[in-house]
Structures are given as structure tokens and as C-alpha cells.
Structure 1
Amino acid sequence: MEQVLATTLRSAAPLVLVAMAGVFAFRAGIFHLGLEGLMISGAFTTVAIGDATGSVELGILAAIGVCMTLSAVYWWVIGPLGANVIIAGLGLTSIGLGGTAFALGAIFDIRGSMFTDVVLPRPVRGATSGAGVIISEHSILVWITPLIVLVAWIVLRRSRFGLRLAAVGEYPFAARSAGVNPSIVRLQALLISGALCALGGAELSVGTLRNFTENMTNGRGFIAFVAVIFGAWHPIGAALAGLFFGFADAIGIQSQINITERVPREFVLMIPFVLTIFAVWLGGLWRRRTLEAEAGYAELREPDY
């Protein structure tokens, strides 16, 4: 049971962080399918810069800078240039997956995986049993994640910026008539999303693991997007959905260790994805609640006068 809880927390933390990024974008009326690309870009930058400087903090700061820059480019493409937000998001994901694989070979002359000595600090070390195992196996970023969720809830539900963000996502024309610039608010939301994706990628590469591997996100950005829908684009709901998907992943991992050889390994590996599909189906039952948020998305397809 301790190992299941430990694996759940380790698997859920990156998903929850990226899901928070998706919530900010969704609140602004943006269906952000570029989360996967930003997440893997953050993972690669953290390892590359952290290994070069010997400082995990500098690696994370560099990852935040890169992901925020990519987010600004994404905003420019879907805003001033008027590109389709879905296609642009998928393009951002393709750039992240392909660009990091190319950079790994071009810069470091490495194919497959790059290992690093930098790692996020852990609050407790050397525990062998009990709750200490659960604490010692995780980086400090895992335990900061609930605080980030709380801050996201306060910002989105109890701040002036959160009200403006909701207005832009739900009633952009009314927000404009009230003196709010929807384009600027969307840019701010995407920059926050980029920073959160960088943290999710950093946790995956130097928190959970100590390396960068090509395509190491393995669809986690899309699962985080599903968590946003499944959690009704609410920060607490998305966090709980991310925890659920982390638990599904933990069940799959522990099943590989404990299950008998008579059960095909492929069946065990597909458990998290089957649960994800089930969650998407449940999210579809709440489809009517997305109609208000689609007003902001619809405006992105029109010229911004």
C-alpha cells in the first residue's frame, strides 16, 4: 500500500502541474493542446541547462523562460495571426517533441536518453518504512504542488485577474466593452501556463527521474488536458482528476511488478489509458457546461478588432 501511494504521488505531480496550466488557458477560452510540447520542452531544458551549470535551480528557471517564450509565440500565432487554436496547439506539441529530440542529437550528440547528476532536493532521505518512505521518495516540488493548486484557486476564483480571465473566456465581447483587452489577458494566461508546464516537465525529468528521454512525456500533456475537462475546468477538480490518473498509472506500474505472468504485459500497460478514455466519456456527459467557455474560443476564430 505504501508503494502504491508513493507511486501515485510521483505520477500525479507532473499531471497536476500541467493540468493547472490547462485550467488557466481554458479559463481564457483556449483549448490548449500544446501542453505536451511545453512539458517536454521544460523537461529537456531543465536537464540540459542544469547539467551544464550544475544547478537544478538554474535549469528550472531556464525551462520556465523557454516555455514562456514558446507560449508567447503560441499566443501570437492564434491571436494576431488568427490561426486555428487547435491546429496551432498540435503544431506546438510537434515542435516540442521533434525539437527536443533533434536538440539532443545536435547539441549533445546523444540519441535516446541523456542522464544528469542534478536532482530536485528531497525533504527526507534514508527512510525505509512507514510514512517516511512516501516522503523520502519524492522531490520538494511534489509537496509544493498542493500549494500551487491552492494559489491557482485563489487567483482564479478570488482575484481581479481571475474575474477578468473568466470574462474573457466566457463573454469576451462584454469584457471588451468593459475596457478589458482580451488579447492581453489571454497572453497573461498563456505565460502562466508555460511556467506551470515547465515545472511539470522539471518534476518529470529531475524529480521523478534523473534523465531526459526522447518522448518521455508519453502523452502526459494530453492526459493533463483530459484532467482539465474531467475536472470541469476548476483547479481543485482538475487536481483531483490528475490524482486519479496518477493512481491509474500507479496501478499499472505495481501490476507489472506483482501480477502473474499469465496476464499479458500489454493488458497491464493499457490500464491507465483505458481509465483515461472512461474519464473522457464521463467528461462528455458534462458537455453542456462547456458552451459558455466556447464563446471565448469562438472569438479566436474571428479578427480581433
Structure 2
Amino acid sequence: MGRPPASAGECALMNDIIIAILRSGTPLVYVTLAGVLAQRSGVWHLGLEGVMIIGACATILGIVATGSFALAMLIACLACVVASALLWFVIERLKASPIIAGLGLTGLGIGGTALAIQSIFGSQAAVTAPFGVPRLGSAFGPYGILSVFVLAMPFVVLALWVLLRRTRFGLQLAAAGEHPFAARSVGVNPSTMRLIALLGGGLLCAVGGAELSAGSLQIFAQNMTAGRGFMAFAAVVFGAGHPIGSVLAALFFSVVGAVGIRAQLVFGDAAPHDLLLALPYLATVFGVWLSGQLRGGAKAAADFAELRDY
């Protein structure tokens, strides 16, 4: 006999789980795509956390100040683009280590947003916006509570895959990252390609930060990214810099996080609360370790030195 049809309760539970995965995974996917762009240009972007929190903060502050979501997104995009341009300047013009510069940008983003909130509102309390990212609406049934950025996510992933894998620009970007001397010999400026990649990544981080702060909560709190930028970086490593592979890795981390949240509701005090909260980060560490094992460990890491020409 076949399996009986799912009950309304089972369908509702499945919808809740999918919504939780999409809510937590969408910001991570956008920031992961920013990391993929940077990686293809030869920059291992450890500043994703900082750019993401700048986008999250700028979105909420923009909504509060202007009352317009479009203007708020414009402000967030400009802020993230400026931060990305700063990273490019430090790496390309000042010849700083991309790893150190990225970590510095993360510190600047976390500390700078905290200072901005303190300076504007006179306290370190969370800032609440009157509205957030537009919702999908009742036409999408139970998924109507999700934001329009969730619906746009698969199209953005597909567009970036086509851009990187099926266009002349994608080939030039890969050449600038993998073989900068060869790219320069055919008239491609690796420094310019890295600037374009970082600026494009800044726009993606702005969308990811906006989805995080205004997608479902309409609130900004200090350090609310909580390591998601580093998880996105780990997804890039786990996915070997491939757009689809990296996005799948990011969604895997989101699934683990959703499972942890569901486990808290099911098991309650039977399972350590801190352990369940740590599941996404444990999955991140495992993903990076597994990626290293599959690609030859230390030998593969040493090969990355050929990606840079400074």
C-alpha cells in the first residue's frame, strides 16, 4: 500500500522548516556570491563579515531616516561599495596582505556600526525600523511572508553562474585571479578586474545585509551578523569558488542551523542549548576541514600562492 497523504500538520511543519531555511540562508547566499566574485579575481575575501554588517546597519538607518526602502537600499549599496573600494585600495595600492586587510575591514565594519548607533541614538540598544523589505504577498500562500530578495535569489545565482562561466568577462576575471601575468599579456588589467569584482561583491553584501536586518525582523543590533560573513567565506572554500557549489554549501549551513532551531523546540532542555546554537559553526569548521582533505590539504593551500602577483 502507498504512503498515506501528508496531514495538514505535517505540511505546515514542512513549510515552517523551508521558510526557516530560506530566511537564514538567503543573506548567506548573497554574501557567499560576493565571496565567489572576489575569489575568482584572486582575492580571498575575509572582509565579508564587515561589509555585510555595514549593509545591514545602513539599511535600517536609511529606512528610519528617509522612510523609503528604495533610498535605504541606495544608501546601503553606496556604503558597501565604498567599503569594498577601500579594501581594494589597501590591497592593490598599499600592497597589504588581503587576509589582514579583510580582517581589518571586518573589525572596521563591526566597530564602525556600533559607533554609528551610539553616536546617532546615544545608546547601544537595537534600532527598529517601521517597515522592511517588501514581502511576496498572499499570492505565494504560506511563503508570502518572505521578502522579495528570497524570490530573486535563484535568479541572481543563475545570472552570476552565466556571467562567470559563460561570458568573456568571466574568463577575463578567472584569468586575472589564476594567471595574472598571462592576463596582463593579453591586455587584461588584473587590478581593474579585482576592483570590479569587489565592487560587485559590495552590492551583493548590501542585499545580504538588508535581508538579514530588514527581511523579517526590521531591526539592527550590534554584531547581528554573528559570524555569517565567515560562514560565507567557508562556503566559498567548501564550494571551491564555483557559484553553484558555494551556494549549495551556504544552504547546507543554513539547513544545519534550521535543524538546530527545530531541535531546541523538540528536545527543549534535554539537549545542551549552547551545543544546538553552535551547530552551524561546527558545520562550517567541518566543511572547511573536508574541503582541505578533498583538495590535498596543505599542498592545495600552498598552490593558492600562485593566484596573486604581489
- TM-score for the superposition, normalised by structure 1: 0.93
Cα displacement string for residues 87-136 of structure 1 (whole angstroms, at most 9, x for unaligned residues): 000000000000000000101223131011121111124x9xxx722x12
Cα displacement string for residues 205-242 of structure 1 (whole angstroms, at most 9, x for unaligned residues): 10032100000000000000001111111111111111
Q: What are the within-5 Å matches in structure 2 for residues 130-145 of structure 1?
A: 132-133=141-142, 135-145=143-153
- Helix, strand or coil: the match of 1:260? helix
Cα displacement string for residues 156-203 of structure 1 (whole angstroms, at most 9, x for unaligned residues): 011111111000111000001111111111100000011100100000
Structure 2 equivalent of residue 33 of structure 1: 46
Structure 2 equivalent of residue 276 of structure 1: 284
Cα displacement string for residues 46-95 of structure 1 (whole angstroms, at most 9, x for unaligned residues): 00011111111111111111111111111010001101110000000000
How far did 1:290 drift?
6.2
* Paired residues of 2:264 and 2:271 also in contact (CA < 8 A): no
Cα displacement string for residues 247-299 of structure 1 (whole angstroms, at most 9, x for unaligned residues): 111111122222132222112112112211111111112335666654223x1
Structure 2 equivalent of residue 173 of structure 1: 181
**1:296 paired residue among 296, 302, 307:** 307
Code of the aligned partner of 1:26: Q
Code of the aligned partner of 1:226: A
What is the number of residues matched between the two proteins? 294
* Paired residues of 1:170 and 1:292 also in contact (CA < 8 A): no
Structure 2 equivalent of residue 70 of structure 1: 83
Code of the aligned partner of 2:131: V
Measured at CA, do residues 75 and 110 of structure 1 come closer, stay the same or move farther in structure 2, by a change above 3 Å?
Answer: same
Give the distance between the partners of 1:59 and 1:295, measured in 2 at CA.
Answer: 40
Measured at CA, do residues 237 and 290 of structure 1 come closer, stay the same or move farther in structure 2, by a change above 3 Å?
Answer: farther
Give the distance between the partners of 1:46 and 1:269, measured in 2 at CA.
Answer: 26
Give the distance between the partners of 2:86 and 2:251, measured in 1 at CA.
Answer: 30
Structure 2 equivalent of residue 87 of structure 1: 100
Measured at CA, do residues 36 and 110 of structure 1 come closer, stay the same or move farther in structure 2, by a change above 3 Å?
Answer: same
Give the distance between the partners of 1:161 and 1:290, measured in 2 at CA.
Answer: 26
Structure 2 equivalent of residue 216 of structure 1: 224
* Paired residues of 1:117 and 1:210 also in contact (CA < 8 A): yes
1:108 and 2:121 matched: yes
Code of the aligned partner of 1:296: L
More contact order relative to length (CA 8 Å, sep ≥ 6) = 1
- Helix, strand or coil: the match of 2:132? coil
Structure 2 equivalent of residue 8 of structure 1: 21
Give the distance between the partners of 2:101 and 2:268, measured in 1 at CA.
Answer: 44
- TM-score for the superposition, normalised by structure 2: 0.91
Give the distance between the partners of 1:119 and 1:13, measured in 2 at CA.
Answer: 15
* Paired residues of 1:169 and 1:294 also in contact (CA < 8 A): no
* Paired residues of 2:73 and 2:210 also in contact (CA < 8 A): yes
Give the distance between the partners of 1:267 and 1:292, measured in 2 at CA.
Answer: 35
Give the distance between the partners of 2:144 and 2:246, measured in 1 at CA.
Answer: 26
- Helix, strand or coil: the match of 1:16? helix
Give the distance between the partners of 2:148 and 2:49, measured in 1 at CA.
Answer: 23
- Gaps spanning 5+ residues in structure 2: where? 1-13
Structure 2 equivalent of residue 42 of structure 1: 55
* Paired residues of 1:230 and 1:283 also in contact (CA < 8 A): yes
**1:22 paired residue among 30, 35, 45:** 35
